[in-house]
Amino acid sequence: MKLSRSVNKAPLPDGALLQEFVDLGEYTDCFVVHVGNDVTFPEYVESFYTTSLFKAERLVLKWLISRPSTDEEARQVSRNEIHAFAAWKVHSRSDNQLVMIDFRQQTCSWFMLVPQENGSRLYFGSAVMRNQETSSGRKMKWTYRCLLGFHRLYSRALLHAAARRLGG
């Protein structure tokens, strides 16, 4: 992994809360970026949810599904003061990880921060619980499969925006 702001695909680290969804056979992904300064976990989550790029998603959620949210709510969920934000609620949490699941329980977002000697490693990943049983086993519905390329690109862009905002 490069020590830069470039976002890279990565395997899930040991102890990742997202592993629960891997074990269930759901689609998961994991991206990582290194920032050269010390970051706290609440700073990371708040930064992610308050970037301009994510604010655009928040606006869409407000208008399409009546799930408005504020920067203050982003701060509160990052500090474990509230347990829901926009279209998500807390599924699981630890000192350095957070899994948020959407209100329809079809997707979730995962955040993890690992402090390092020369900065912080920020992880972001997702799980998509849209598998269906077929004669050849469980497969993701084609509508979700078609969107995975965009999803991966968007996930990388969101993580990059958060890292840039944190001054990495």
Rounded to two decimals, the pTM is: 0.91
| Digit-coded pLDDT (tens) for 147-163 | 889 999 999 999 999 99
Q: Are 44 and 124 in contact (CB under 8 A)?
A: no
Number of domains forming the structure of the chain:
1
CA distance 73 to 68: 10
The verdict on residue 2 lying in a domain is no
CATH number of domain containing 120: 3.30.530
pLDDT tens, residue by residue, 106-154 = 999 999 999 999 999 999 999 998 666 666 766 777 777 888 899 999 9
Its domain, for residue 42, covers 8-165
Beta carbons of 139 and 132 less than 8 angstroms apart: yes
